[in-house]
Amino acid sequence: MLCFSRCNLPPLSSEYTKDVGSKSHLVTANPSIIRQRFQNLLWSRKTFVDNMKIYNHSYIYMPAFSMKTGTEPSLRVYYTLSDVGANQTVLFANPNFLRSIGKFWKSRGIHAKRLSTGLFLVSAALGLCEEVAIYGFWPFSVNMHEQPISHHYYDNVLPFSGFHAMPEEFLQLWYLHKIGALRMQLDPCEDTSLQPTS
């Protein structure tokens, strides 16, 4: 079975689906996004609930107990979606798993204040899935043809300086690609087996 995972509640509106598809099975939600984009669900939950409908029956994966600041927003997401009978199911990451993954990658040369959500998700996928193909893991401001590209497909908001070590993460993922542990797609998808479908 194919499983489509997405990081940090990305938009899947019609202007993007031609390139990124619309299927989702697992979507990560960083608590900082809940604080910034949805005012920590303190004032209006309707906007959040409406935004979540695009993810259909996806699992929403959150690090509720890995940091003190993540617990409250994660619980608010859980209760908000539960209260309205939403189609999504909230899953909380095991903090021991997150710590172990952090130690593992640190021992392999990634020295960052915190790993990116993408690397956590790829790490989980490698432990759960027979085949892993990743797209969009490119940490540079130009593509391989030296054309400027944005940080995300939907915006160019960069991570806080010194917070993540994206080039180091990319090198580790590229190594995994080279040894056949995963497939990393760097150019636009032309192979129909990699193209997202609606």
154: which residues sit within 8 A by CB, 6+ positions away? 10, 11, 16
What distance lies between CA 8 and its chain's CA centroid?
5
Selected catalytic residue, list 57, 111, 151, 164: 164
Using CA atoms, how far apart are residues 150 and 133, in angstroms rounded to an integer?
21
The single-letter DSSP state of residue 65 is: T
Q: Is 164 a catalytic residue?
A: yes
Give the three-state DSSP class for 89.
strand
Q: Where are the beta strands (DSSP E) in 48-194?
A: 59-62, 89-92, 133-135, 183-185
Q: How far apart are CA 53 and CA 87, in angstroms?
A: 8
The catalytic site residues sit at 164
